[in-house]
Structure 1
């Protein structure tokens, strides 16, 4: 391929179009993209919407382990030789996804440096998030974990202003993600609202004061597991 053509390659435009090994799919709210145990032979890219990632134990207990948003990949385990899905993914709202076959994904990663850079940036960011989540679970109270999760869901830090959480996230889901009970989440949410950290009118809106409380370890948010 000529160098001029190489320079024009746009990963986002590539992901937004149907092509060889690529399909554009719409998923309604609450529809499963794939289920734990399904054959793993495609990678997905989120153009629009949010995806909830769940795992189910052998005893049938279900837990939410992540929420993915536009600009993120999922299902990439197939590239590492995983023949079956290890989680279930469900649309939290109307989603627009790009489905890429394993063969097309590997070929594009090998052929297009800009696409490889985009995918590598995603992987590094996801690994950092996993490490942060582990530290959070080990050392922080459930109240602090909830505060951090709300900030992440609201994409805080992108422009420093209050932002609504786009998708409807139940207190049960929040409780599963931080490893506590729904009643504790309800208690903390009411506390955050009274302190002016959040507002709630159909959607949760997170304010800068919550970020300051977490960053500067203010006593309003307890830092020990005794608060549980």
Structure 2
């Protein structure tokens, strides 16, 4: 006699449903999820849209430190004892996010192994990205940092074909993310377009030739004009 099928737990369905300690919000472009200095009492998961992370120094200088996409968490610092938010998170386009209270998040991690594995995979991937970003800042030119950022935003390296960058990102934001001036980013973007690495069709489209140039030891990216 066949055994009855077990009730399989689906982490993605769990995150898409309202429940104890969980709520779902729809954000308009430009709306903050939380601000730097707010009380850190929940973790968030992006179902749709893109979220920008910015920090402001004591001197009032603002910097963009990340752009998060569907399938990513943010605000997890509350699980590590951070009482206050260290960054501001803002919707770059209309977005849907799940809010999980700190208590509900800890309970899910302790009782649902599949959810724990999903969250652990996210943390490992994010840690690797931070390490890569640090190496990028230390050893690569601002031009190569911009090229790498464009490739990441266009999802090169993930399964499936790269897509046009699905959100309008200003040159000021790109400059903040690579530690360069807007004028330098404008110069590099024009250069990439002339070389056929990118094109504009309402949004920035990144071509595979940019990846090939980055991978070559002596690429057009380092060529002096």
TM range (shorter): over 0.9
Q: Distance in 1 between matches of 2:133 and 2:114?
A: 29
1:52 matched residue in structure 2: 52
Q: CA deviation at 1:202?
A: 2.1
Q: CA deviation at 1:216?
A: 1.6
- Corresponding residue to 1:4 among 3, 6, 23: 6
1:124 matched residue in structure 2: 124
Matched, 1:212 2:201: no
| Local SS of the residue matching 1:100 | strand
Instruction: Report the RMSD for the aligned CA atoms in angstroms.
Output: 1.5
1:33 matched residue in structure 2: 33
1:63 matched residue in structure 2: 63
Q: Distance in 2 between matches of 1:14 and 1:162?
A: 28
Q: CA deviation at 1:162?
A: 4.3
2:168 matched residue in structure 1: 168
| Local SS of the residue matching 1:157 | coil
1:21 matched residue in structure 2: 21
Contact between 2:155 and 2:162, CA under 8 Å: does it hold in 1? no
Counting matched residue pairs gives: 221
| Local SS of the residue matching 2:107 | helix
Q: Distance in 1 between matches of 2:41 and 2:179?
A: 31
Contact between 1:161 and 1:207, CA under 8 Å: does it hold in 2? no
Q: 1:91-102 residue pairs with structure 2 within 5 A?
A: 91-102=91-102
Deviations 1:49-72 (A, max 9, x none): 000000000111100000000000
| Local SS of the residue matching 2:116 | helix
Q: Distance in 2 between matches of 1:209 and 1:217?
A: 14
Q: CA deviation at 1:160?
A: 6.2
1:196 matched residue in structure 2: 196
Q: Distance in 1 between matches of 2:179 and 2:215?
A: 21
Structure 2 unaligned segments of length 5 or more: list them: none
Deviations 1:87-126 (A, max 9, x none): 0000000010000000000000000000000000000000
